[in-house]
Amino acid sequence: MAPIRIGSGFYAAIDDVRYLRTYLKMLVHPELHCPAKPAKLRDVAAEYSAKTRELLLQLARAISESLGLDGGRISKALNLGSCFQMILGNLYPPPYSGPGDLGIGLPAHSDQGLLSLVFQDGVDGLQIERDGHWILAKLLPGAFFVIAGDQLEIVTNGRYKAPIHRAVVHGDQQRMSFLSMIAPSMDTVVEPVSELEREGKGLEFRGVKFRDYLAHHQTNKLDANKALNFARVTRPAGRPYRTA
C-alpha cells in the first residue's frame, strides 16, 4: 500500500512467476501522490485523475439509475465523495521467447475496486473471460474501456458482475495501457444495498470494510475472482438464503 509503487509483478512476496510487465502505480485521491520527476508529471496526473474521477462518478450514478435506484444511491452507500482513487501505467514488452509466443503480462483477475477506466496505446492485449473462453477486447480508436470491479458486484448484490480479464503480450509489439480506478473510501463498509436483495435468496455478500478487502486482495495471488469469496455469504448446502 505504498502510495507510489514501481515494479513488475503483483506482490513480490507471493508471486511465483515473472510477469511481462513494468508498472508505475500512484494513489491520487483523497491525496495526490506522484514522483518528483519528470517535473510536469504532477500537473498531468492531477488533471487526469480529476477528469477521470468525474467521469467514473457519473458512471456510478448511471449504474445506480439502471437498477431502478436513485442516481446517488450507490455513491452515498460507498461514500464516493471521499473515494479512493489510483492511477496505474503499464508497459508490456514483447515476450522474450520469440515472435508468435504468448506471454502473460498480468494473469486472470477481477479488479478490486468499483470501476476502472482503461486507455490503451493502440496495441491489442486485453482479454475477457466468457463461458470458459478468452475473448479479445478489440480496440476502438480513442475509446476507454470501462471495467466493473469487485466492489460494484458486492454493492449491487451480484446484479453487475466483475469480469475476469487478463493482459497478454505477443509477437514483437510493445504495449502500453493506463488505468484510472475508483473505489470506496478505505473505512467504508461495503455491502449490498438493501433494495437489491433477491427474493428468496437474500444478500449474497456480507459487509466488509474496503481497507480489509484490499489487504486480503493484495496479500494473495491473483486468481480469477476468488478474492470475492472473502465477502461472499456462505450457507450450508440445502439451507435457504436469508438476509445476512
What is d(CA 43, CA 40) in angstroms, rounded to the nearest whole number?
A: 6
188 lies in some domain: yes
Q: Which residues form the domain of 222?
A: 4-230
165 lies in some domain: yes
pLDDT value of residue 168: 84
Q: What is the CATH number of the domain that holds 225?
A: 2.60.120.330
> CB–CB of 180/85 below 8 Å?
yes
pLDDT value of residue 144: 93
> CB–CB of 119/87 below 8 Å?
no
240 lies in some domain: no
Structurally, how many domains does the chain consist of? Answer: 1
Mean pLDDT per block of 10 residues along the chain (244 residues) reads 81 54 94 95 97 98 97 95 95 66 73 95 90 91 93 96 88 88 96 88 91 84 78 62 38
235 lies in some domain: no
pLDDT value of residue 202: 81
Cβ-based burial of 187 (10 A; exposed 0-12, middle 13-18, buried ≥19): exposed
pLDDT value of residue 242: 40
Q: Is the pTM of this model over 0.85?
A: yes
27 lies in some domain: yes
pLDDT value of residue 17: 54
236 lies in some domain: no
- CA-to-CA separations, 20 to 9, 92, 107, 127, in angstroms, rounded: 8, 6, 10, 15
> CB–CB of 45/29 below 8 Å?
no
68 lies in some domain: yes
> CB–CB of 175/120 below 8 Å?
yes
How is residue 153 written as a grid cell?
A: 458486484
pLDDT value of residue 222: 67
Q: For residue 79, which amino acid is it? A: N
Q: What is the DSSP letter of 129?
A: E
